[in-house]
């Protein structure tokens, strides 16, 4: 019970399982491979075959040590077993769904395919950075127009991704219409945020620090509500999962990553055009620049802020779906992205829309490229370090003005 | 009814237990940062992690004595405070907030990473480092004692005793400091930094001293936690804990010496009571399983903390014992 308090990430799952996926980037998921699980004494527990997504799952009688082996003859010719051979011995803790990794390789890492790791990472980073930018524009515009540092923005990302998951997987709607529906819901969630919480608080004259702490409370509240409703597991979307990487010379990309980049660029260009050309876009920039002056020249500030929130909610939803496509849909995906969004937004200059764009792309590329030097599981640390370094050198950010840092 | 009494007794233990001490020490530190100096430190849990791992790594990896571990933990906390403060203390409050939470998440990711496993034990963490401390107990740490309907092991009692002594000492220190000239300068910084600078005070140095002091108190919180559970696992030090400590501080009343202590005790009591009570209601079938299962209860407490934090900030920012004029609510 003591642990339950301080390890919020641990969700209790009843029954022990062994799970895993057989796939490589070139062959895609590998179906129909026999998997046999034995206890430490050599008694067979079960034998199964991988499904069309290359996945397998074996229910176990209880915690303990198990040996799991795969039928190497059923693998495609191009796929080779890793150095560990065709058996694995794992220890399963109580209530745990233990992943098993056979470390398959298809020779793509060192073959003549021509991918150069640095270029590959740069392209991956570009995709990730553009995704962060899509999520973070709302965060930056909300800060610009209201002064609120919204710690609950990550939850907009999670909520959007999870609504799209329910529409896509549970209701069976294809992912693209599901995303559009989710974006509409996301905009409504954003509007609800503004109308239900932030506008009344501004009217009460709540200070910015108090509002910041309120947003932390909201973030905690929403995040753990999401975990209760959605559960502590990670799930993929129903579409576009089994794609092979297509080679483009120096790098290779799955089609979904390529379209992630294209969609992000289109959306970001549209946002930029809107900010530059349309009435509401100009009004947003005017309110960001000087709220009182904007109000006195006849701009309805509250309406502009409402539109900013709706736009932020819809964009966060889109970013969440793109993140769910490349990783998986998880209850705390938005919170983990939040710090990188902050890094991007601060790097570019708090409160400037274009700054959020530039900063996020830099953070994305930096995070991915840093795996050239540091281990993969520490790559987010690189982004956070970049944030601290930039604050020492240029606290107002790349595109920020000196006056903003106060 | 007996369930309710039982829940009350278990919650009563939480009122005095090691978690209340842990959050009280975190919150006393945050009180010095946020309550008195007006610094938004959202990375308090990182100081606690360094405190806990300072002992754990020194004792179980380097084979040093327990007391050296304590010194290592404090030194690590001081170093972190200096590193954090250097770039951010000249900037506005929200920058410090972003950098501190980023640092605490970043440090946790480093501690739990595979490449740090030889030092920190990775995701499994470290254990078996509190033997020296437990041996000092004047009573049998294995024996179980019954006090007012709750059961405590000797070890729990020993940790609780030393922990509360620490809480009292740091509360006394805060009380004395805030009556001193140093405290008056720090509180003036919270109210108007520029005015203090105009009086010729080095605002940056005072903020840094405050950050170091509060961080070290937080590190002692982490030590109590690690010694009490007998293990140090990076994922125990999630940033949600920082916000629990903020909730405790604001509940009790910021910028009050006893605010964080009473706030932690009340918060832990309420959380444990809600937890045990909800579990009992679910197992009795009062709350249908379909609406809320017992595995969800651990999440409910965070939902409640989030909601409570929002309501407090909006309707009673001074908490139970605070003074509204003394709570810093406007960013600078």
Which residues partner with B231 through β-bridges? B127
Q: How far is CA A370 from the centre of its chain?
A: 18
Of 1.10.3470, 1.10.357, 3.30.70, 1.20.50, which CATH number belongs to A117-238+246-405?
A: 1.10.3470
Stretch among A32-46, A73-87, A209-223, B306-320 having the lowest mean pLDDT: A73-87
B299, closest residue in chain A (CA to CA): A224
Nearest by CB: A216 against B103, B309, B314: B309
Q: What DSSP string runs through A323-361?
A: HHHHS-B-TTHHHHHHHHHHHHHHHH-TT-HHHHHHHHH
Confidence bin at A175 (pLDDT 50/70/90): very high
The verdict on B95 touching A (C-beta cutoff 8 Å) is: yes
Per-residue pLDDT at A357 exceeds 70: yes
The mean pLDDT value for A181-206 works out to: 93
Confidence bin at B283 (pLDDT 50/70/90): confident
Confidence bin at B25 (pLDDT 50/70/90): very high
Contact A220 B94 (CB under 8 A): no
| pLDDT 10s digits, A308-325 | 999 999 999 999 999 999
Per-residue pLDDT at A404 exceeds 50: no
A236 SS3 class:
coil
Q: How many helices (H) and strands (E) does chain B have?
A: 14, 4
CA A238 – CA B95 distance, rounded (Å): 40
Which is more confidently placed, A190 or B253? A190
Q: Which residue has the tokens 């996945």?
A: A55
Contact A216 B243 (CB under 8 A): yes
Nearby residues of B298 by Cβ (< 8 Å), 6 or more positions away = A4, A5, A8, A12, B275
CA A270 – CA B267 distance, rounded (Å): 48
Query: Under a CB-based contact definition with an 8 Å cutoff, are residues A111 and A127 in contact?
Result: no
A-interface mutation test, from B20, B46, B269, B295, most A Cβ less than 10 A away: B295
A375 SS3 class:
coil
Instruction: Tell me the chain A residues in contact with residue B101 when contact means C-beta distances shorter than 8 Å.
Output: 339
Instruction: Tell me the chain B residues in contact with residue A208 when contact means C-beta distances shorter than 8 Å.
Output: 94, 330-331
**Residue A290: CB atoms within 10 Å:** 11
The mean pLDDT value for A332-345 works out to: 89
Q: Which of B98, B43, B193, B80 is nearest to A343 (CA)?
A: B98
Which is more confidently placed, A214 or A247? A214
What's the gap in Å between the CA of B101 and the closest CA on chain A?
8
For the B2-326 domain, the top CATH level (class) is mainly alpha
A379 SS3 class:
helix
**Consecutive H or E run containing A307:** helix A301-326
Alpha-carbon torsion (A248, A253, A259, A263), positive or negative: negative
The mean pLDDT value for B207-218 works out to: 96
The verdict on B230 touching A (C-beta cutoff 8 Å) is: no
Stretch among A96-105, A251-260, A273-282 having the lowest mean pLDDT: A96-105
DSSP alpha helix (H) spans, B17-153: 18-30, 44-56, 66-88, 93-112, 117-120, 131-135
Which is more confidently placed, A308 or A115? A308
Strands A17-21 and A97-99 come out as parallel
**Residue B235: CB atoms within 10 Å:** 17
| pLDDT 10s digits, B67-96 | 999 999 999 999 999 988 887 887 777 788
Strands B126-127 and B231-232 come out as antiparallel
Instruction: Tell me the chain B residues in contact with residue A212 when contact means C-beta distances shorter than 8 Å.
Output: 40, 94, 97, 331
* Residue A146 tokens, joined: 């209201």
Contact A207 B329 (CB under 8 A): yes
Per-residue pLDDT at B273 exceeds 70: yes
Residues of chain A with CATH 2.60.40.10: 14-99
A377, closest residue in chain B (CA to CA): B113
A382, closest residue in chain B (CA to CA): B106
- How high is the mean pLDDT of chain B? 87
What's the gap in Å between the CA of A406 and the closest CA on chain B?
6
Alpha-carbon torsion (A160, B101, B166, B131), positive or negative: positive
| pLDDT 10s digits, B171-188 | 999 999 999 999 999 999
The pLDDT of residue A114 is 58
Per-residue pLDDT at A376 exceeds 60: yes
B237 SS3 class:
coil
Query: Under a CB-based contact definition with an 8 Å cutoff, are residues A329 and A161 in contact?
Result: yes
Q: Which residue has the tokens 């007794």?
A: B9
Query: Under a CB-based contact definition with an 8 Å cutoff, are residues A40 and A67 in contact?
Result: yes
Per-residue pLDDT at B207 exceeds 80: yes
Q: What are phi and psi of A17, to 5 degrees?
A: -145, 155
Total number of residues shown for chain B: 332
Instruction: Tell me the chain A residues in contact with residue B115 when contact means C-beta distances shorter than 8 Å.
Output: 375, 377-378
Q: What DSSP string runs through A66-104?
A: EEEEE-GGGS-TT-B--TTTTEEEEEE-TT-EEE-----
Q: Which residue has the tokens 């509180």?
A: B187
Contact B241 A6 (CB under 8 A): yes
Contact B240 A220 (CB under 8 A): yes
The pLDDT of residue B237 is 92
Range picked from A50-59, A63-72, A279-288 for highest mean pLDDT: A279-288
Nearest by CB: B105 against A201, A206, A384: A384
Touching A: B residues 276-315, CB under 8 Å: 292, 295-296, 298-303, 305-310, 313-314
Contact A342 B243 (CB under 8 A): no
The pLDDT of residue A26 is 64
Query: Under a CB-based contact definition with an 8 Å cutoff, are residues A16 and A97 in contact?
Result: yes
The pLDDT of residue A15 is 67
Stretch among A235-244, A262-271, B228-237 having the lowest mean pLDDT: A235-244
Instruction: Tell me the chain B residues in contact with residue A350 when contact means C-beta distances shorter than 8 Å.
Output: 94
ipTM for this model: 0.85
Touching A: B residues 107-146, CB under 8 Å: 109-110, 112-115
| pLDDT 10s digits, B191-206 | 888 899 999 999 999 9
The pLDDT of residue A401 is 64
What's the gap in Å between the CA of B302 and the closest CA on chain A?
6
CA B33 – CA B97 distance, rounded (Å): 11
State how far the alpha carbon of A398 is from the alpha carbons of A328, A401, B44, in Å: 32, 9, 29
Per-residue pLDDT at B210 exceeds 90: yes
A-interface mutation test, from B108, B309, B311, most A Cβ less than 10 A away: B309
Q: What are phi and psi of B231, to 5 degrees?
A: -150, 155
Query: Under a CB-based contact definition with an 8 Å cutoff, are residues B33 and B204 in contact?
Result: no
Confidence bin at B99 (pLDDT 50/70/90): confident
Instruction: Tell me the chain A residues in contact with residue B110 when contact means C-beta distances shorter than 8 Å.
Output: 378, 381
The pLDDT of residue A13 is 41
Query: Under a CB-based contact definition with an 8 Å cutoff, are residues B23 and B167 in contact?
Result: no
Confidence bin at A27 (pLDDT 50/70/90): low
The pLDDT of residue B328 is 62
State how far the alpha carbon of A10 is from the alpha carbons of A1, A63, B289, in Å: 12, 17, 20
The mean pLDDT value for A188-209 works out to: 91
Contact B306 A214 (CB under 8 A): no
Instruction: Tell me the chain A residues in contact with residue B300 when contact means C-beta distances shorter than 8 Å.
Output: 224, 228
What's the gap in Å between the CA of B243 and the closest CA on chain A?
8
The pLDDT of residue A406 is 40
Nearest by CB: B307 against A221, A228, A405: A221
Touching A: B residues 238-257, CB under 8 Å: 238, 240-241, 243, 246-247, 250
Contact B95 A1 (CB under 8 A): no
Alpha-carbon torsion (B36, B38, B40, B41), positive or negative: negative
Stretch among A50-54, A202-206, A247-251, B74-78 having the lowest mean pLDDT: A50-54
Stretch among B59-63, B133-137, B139-143, B328-332 having the lowest mean pLDDT: B328-332
What's the gap in Å between the CA of B70 and the closest CA on chain A?
22
- How high is the mean pLDDT of chain A? 83
Per-residue pLDDT at A108 exceeds 70: no
Angle at A331 between CA A357 and CA A30, to 5 degrees: 90
Nearest by CB: B306 against A7, A218, A228: A218
Q: What percent of chain B has pLDDT over 70?
A: 96
DSSP-assigned letter for residue A327:
S
| pLDDT 10s digits, B285-305 | 777 766 777 777 878 888 888
Confidence bin at A112 (pLDDT 50/70/90): very low
Residues of chain A with CATH 1.10.3470: 117-238+246-405
A-interface mutation test, from B314, B315, B319, B325, most A Cβ less than 10 A away: B314
Stretch among A99-103, A272-276, B29-33 having the lowest mean pLDDT: A99-103
CATH code assigned to A14-99? 2.60.40.10
Q: How many CB pairs under 8 A join A and B?
A: 169
CA A401 – CA A52 distance, rounded (Å): 54
A7, closest residue in chain B (CA to CA): B236
The verdict on B53 touching A (C-beta cutoff 8 Å) is: no
Give the 3-state secondary structure percentages of chain A, helix then strand then coil, rounded to 5.
Answer: 55, 10, 30
B-interface mutation test, from A213, A226, A400, most B Cβ less than 10 A away: A213
Contact A7 B236 (CB under 8 A): yes
State the number of CA atoms in the 13 A half-sphere of A379 facing the CB: 18
Contact A204 B314 (CB under 8 A): yes
Per-residue pLDDT at A137 exceeds 70: yes
> If 0-12 CB within 10 Å is exposed, 13-18 middle and 19+ buried, where does residue A198 land?
buried
**Consecutive H or E run containing B149:** none
The mean pLDDT value for A320-349 works out to: 89
**Residue B186: CB atoms within 10 Å:** 25
A-interface mutation test, from B34, B85, B98, B151, most A Cβ less than 10 A away: B98
């Amino acid at each position: 019970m003591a642990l339950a308090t301080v390890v919020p990430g641990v969700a209790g799952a009843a029954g022990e399982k062994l799970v895993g996926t057989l796939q490589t980037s070139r062959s895609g998921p590998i179906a129909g491979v026999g998997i046999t699980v034995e206890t430490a004494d050599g008694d067979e527990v079960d034998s199964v075959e991988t499904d069309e997504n290359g996945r397998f799952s074996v229910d176990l009688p209880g915690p303990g040590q198990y040996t799991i082996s795969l039928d190497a003859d059923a693998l495609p010719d191009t796929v080779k077993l890793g150095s560990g051979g065709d058996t694995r011995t794992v220890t399963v803790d109580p209530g745990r769904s233990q992943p098993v990794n056979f470390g398959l390789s298809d020779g793509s890492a060192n073959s003549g395919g021509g991918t150069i790791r640095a270029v590959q990472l740069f392209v991956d980073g570009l995709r990730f950075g553009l995704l962060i930018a899509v999520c973070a524009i709302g965060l930056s515009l909300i800060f610009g127009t209201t002064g609120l540092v919204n710690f609950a923005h990550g939850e907009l990302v999670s909520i959007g991704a999870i609504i799209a998951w329910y529409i896509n997987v549970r209701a069976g709607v294809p992912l693209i219409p599901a995303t559009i529906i989710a974006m509409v819901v996301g905009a409504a969630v954003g509007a609800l945020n503004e109308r239900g919480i932030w506008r009344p608080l501004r009217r009460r004259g709540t200070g910015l620090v108090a509002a910041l702490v309120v947003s932390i409370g909201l973030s905690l509240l929403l995040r753990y509500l999401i975990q209760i409703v959605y559960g502590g597991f990670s799930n993929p979307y129903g579409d576009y999962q089994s794609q092979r990487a297509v080679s483009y010379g120096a790098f290779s990309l799955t089609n979904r990553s390529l379209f992630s980049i294209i969609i992000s660029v289109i959306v970001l260009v549209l946002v930029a055009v809107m900010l530059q050309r349309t009435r509401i876009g100009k009004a947003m920039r005017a309110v960001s620049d000087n709220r009182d002056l904007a109000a006195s020249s006849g701009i309805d500030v509250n309406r502009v802020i409402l539109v900013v929130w709706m736009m932020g909610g819809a964009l966060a939803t889109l970013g969440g779906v793109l993140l769910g496509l490349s990783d998986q849909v998880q209850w705390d995906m938005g919170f983990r992205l939040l710090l990188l969004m902050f890094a991007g937004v601060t790097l570019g200059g708090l409160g400037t829309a274009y700054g959020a764009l530039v900063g996020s792309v830099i953070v994305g590329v930096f995070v991915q490229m840093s795996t050239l030097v540091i281990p993969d599981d520490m790559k987010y640390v690189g982004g956070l370090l970049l944030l601290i370094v930039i604050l020492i050198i240029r606290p107002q950010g790349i595109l920020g003005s000196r006056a903003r840092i106060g | 009814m007996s369930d309710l009494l039982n829940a009350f007794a278990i919650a009563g233990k939480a009122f005095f237990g090691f978690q209340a001490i842990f959050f009280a020490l975190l919150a006393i530190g945050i009180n010095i940062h946020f309550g008195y100096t007006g610094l938004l430190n959202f990375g308090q849990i990182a100081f606690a992690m360094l405190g806990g791992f300072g002992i754990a790594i020194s004792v179980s990896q380097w084979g040093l004595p327990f007391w050296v571990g304590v010194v290592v933990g404090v030194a690590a906390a001081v170093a972190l405070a200096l590193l954090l403060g250097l770039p951010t203390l000249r900037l506005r409050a929200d920058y410090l907030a972003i950098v501190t939470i980023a640092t605490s998440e970043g440090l946790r990711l480093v501690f739990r990473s595979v490449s740090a496993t030889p030092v920190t034990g990775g995701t499994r963490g470290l254990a078996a480092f509190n033997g020296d401390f437990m041996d000092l107990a004047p009573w049998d740490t294995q024996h179980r004692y019954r006090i007012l309907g709750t059961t405590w092991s000797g070890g729990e009692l020993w940790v609780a005793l030393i922990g509360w002594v620490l809480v009292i000492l740091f509360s006394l220190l805060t009380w004395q400091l805030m009556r001193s000239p140093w405290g008056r300068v720090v509180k003036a910084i919270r109210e108007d930094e520029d005015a203090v600078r105009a009086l010729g005070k080095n605002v940056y140095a005072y903020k840094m001293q405050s950050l170091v002091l509060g961080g070290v108190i937080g590190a002692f919180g982490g030590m109590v936690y690690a010694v009490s559970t007998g293990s140090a696992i990076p994922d125990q030090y999630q940033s949600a804990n920082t916000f629990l400590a903020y909730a405790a501080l604001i509940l009790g009343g910021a910028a009050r010496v006893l605010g964080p202590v009473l706030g932690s005790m009340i918060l832990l009591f309420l959380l444990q009571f809600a937890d045990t009570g909800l579990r009992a209601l679910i197992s009795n079938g009062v709350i249908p399983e379909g609406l809320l299962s017992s595995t969800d209860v651990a999440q409910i407490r965070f939902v409640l903390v989030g909601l409570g934090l929002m309501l407090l900030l909006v309707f009673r920012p001074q908490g139970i014992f605070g003074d509204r004029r003394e709570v810093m609510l406007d960013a600078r």
